[in-house]
Amino acid sequence: MTLPAHEHAPRESGLVPPPGCPAHASTGPGGAARLYGPAAETDPMGLYEELRATHGPVAPVLLDGDVRAWLVLGYNENRDVATRSTQFSRDPRVWHGWSTGEIDPATSPLMPMIGWRPDCVCADGEEHQRLRSAVTASLDQFDHRGIRRRINRFAHELIDTFCEDGQAELVDRFTEHLPMLTLSHLLGMSDETAPQLVRAARDLFKATETSLASNAFVVESLEQLVREKHEAPGHDIASALLAHSAGLTDEEVVHHLRLVLLAGYETTANLMSNVLRMVVTDPRFRGSLAGGQMTLPEAVEQVLWDEPPLMVCPSRYANGDTTLGGQRIGAGDMLLLGLAAGNMDRAVRPDPAAPVHHNRAHLSFSAGSHECPGQDVGRIIADVGIDILLTRLPDIVLSVPEETLSWRSSTWARHLTALPVTFAPRAPRGEQYETPLPDAPPAQLSGIPAPAAAPEEVPETAPGSPGGRPAARPSWWDRLLRLLRLR
């Protein structure tokens, strides 16, 4: 099976570009490789293998503004850093770069990703357990069958907007919208806020001059959501966080909603795009899927090994001097988890082409006490959405040469920009698909009474409407469907 990460064989060590070669632009002070800029964005997996060949499992790198850090490339070294919280803290305030002036917090585009926030990602020990317990409970309140029914409806409605055309661009028309719609429902967002909020969340990963403004918009929107849920709680993550016995402040609730939004949307959209790209470009991958040698959930795990949706995870900070992968790590140093590089480490995958779809030991959701708590929801969105798409359009084929596909990369993630396909035109299903049942009542959270059912589960009746039919309520979803049908 040919998978994207295998296209980048490590270059022979000792081969150094000659002076004046453009390749030198990818290095900064001290010869450390830059994880930003054209060189890193063009071929990040190739860069990781170059670093591994030169430095071993831990390499010195530079972030935007030539901020120094260590990139952990080895599988075992990644797990070591992720699971040893006493040695490697998640609290950014441990980093020495704040006191040395290495970064300007007011202007650096890195701040949305490495700055301190009052959430469980930036906490250790008992404080981390307190905050994470609230996040876990807010996610566990949802019945997975109910989530699947909701995704089922959203997926069919999206496919209905392009199935008659015989062609579609799947990133823009499907893989970016389905996670957005699902997370909007789970978070409890208003119709009008959701699209702008998710676009801003995606912009945070680009680490550009707009990242700080996008982060401010996300935080302000979520602050408004929290105010609304104080007045009218529902069956959603925001309301559950407010009600949890951990006693989160409003600020803590806002930043945990931000965390769920960022981690859930970007990674799930990327994962879906990556799986569908493999379906339409790799005949062996598609044949294994169609022939039953690999189930769709297994196909998702294979792609999580080979092309994780989050390639680099920020950040850990050394609590004291130590040694890792043959490198001397100083107290206060920043370390980045190289999830994609760790997944391709020959120490655990001697033959990168061998299928590993039965194995969930990859690093794509990190590891240890900070392993992503929402990974199962992301898997459900990907599994259900892709299954419905391939069931309704089983003959999709790529409509452009594979080599023309392009990606938008940043330090943290690699995002497929477009996936144009063709298929035999089919009529929309309309209301043939199952209408989602109301979600199960939320379980009580640590003895606190469950909030009232979300207002959206109770249809409004228009005065004087025949037969008491529900009143039509224009929303951004209706406008989105109209817009997609016009494309």
Each residue's pLDDT tens digit, 292-341: 889 999 999 999 999 999 999 999 999 999 999 999 999 999 999 999 99
- Cβ–Cβ < 8 Å for 312, 35: yes
Give residue 430's pLDDT: 77
CB neighbour list of residue 455: distance below 8 Å, 6 or more residues apart: 232, 234
Each residue's pLDDT tens digit, 435-484: 444 444 444 444 444 444 433 333 333 333 444 444 444 455 555 555 55
Inform me whether the pLDDT recorded for 425 exceeds 70.
yes
Angle, alpha carbons 387-393-398 (nearest 5°):
105
**Three-class SS of 212-232:** HHHHHHHHHHHHHHHHHHHHC
| Spatial CA neighbour of 363 closest among 382, 348, 384, 385 | 348
- Give the bridge partners for 335, in sequence order: 70, 316
Of the pLDDT bands very low, low, confident and very high (cuts 50, 70, 90), residue 4 is very low
Angle, alpha carbons 28-32-37 (nearest 5°):
55
| Spatial CA neighbour of 412 closest among 17, 131, 21, 63 | 63
CA distance 288 to 2: 12
Q: Residue written as tokens 């490198």? A: 327
CA 407 to chain CA centroid, nearest Å = 15
Angle, alpha carbons 221-411-261 (nearest 5°):
25
| Spatial CA neighbour of 117 closest among 102, 103, 105, 104 | 105
Q: Residue written as tokens 């596909």? A: 405
Q: Is residue 58 helix, strand or coil? A: strand
| Spatial CA neighbour of 244 closest among 450, 455, 454 | 450
pTM of the predicted structure, to 2 decimals: 0.82
Query: Which position has the higher pLDDT, 29 or 179?
Result: 179
Amino acid at 220: E
Average pLDDT over residues 194-199: 73
Give residue 195's pLDDT: 72
Of the pLDDT bands very low, low, confident and very high (cuts 50, 70, 90), residue 184 is confident
Each residue's pLDDT tens digit, 110-165: 998 999 999 999 999 999 999 999 999 999 999 999 999 999 999 999 999 999 99
Average pLDDT over residues 170-199: 84
CB neighbour list of residue 192: distance below 8 Å, 6 or more residues apart: 475, 476
Give residue 481's pLDDT: 55
Q: Residue written as tokens 């945990």? A: 256
Is the CA virtual torsion 102, 108, 113, 119 positive or negative? positive
Looking at the chain, the whole-number percentage of residues with pLDDT higher than 90 is: 66
Inform me whether the pLDDT recorded for 78 exceeds 80.
yes
Q: Is residue 445 helix, strand or coil? A: strand
Of the pLDDT bands very low, low, confident and very high (cuts 50, 70, 90), residue 485 is low
Give residue 212's pLDDT: 85
Q: Is 432 exposed, middle or buried (0-12, 13-18, 19+ CB in 10 A)?
A: exposed
Pairing between β-strand 67-72 and β-strand 334-338 as defined by DSSP bridges = parallel
CA distance 435 to 382: 20
Centre a 10 Å sphere on the Cβ of residue 62 and count the other Cβ atoms it contains.
Answer: 23
CA distance 89 to 97: 15
CA distance 72 to 191: 41
Average pLDDT along the chain:
85
Looking at the chain, the whole-number percentage of residues with pLDDT higher than 70 is: 81
Each residue's pLDDT tens digit, 231-281: 999 999 999 999 999 999 999 999 999 999 888 888 999 999 999 999 999
Centre a 10 Å sphere on the Cβ of residue 422 and count the other Cβ atoms it contains.
Answer: 17
Tokens of 84: 């040893």
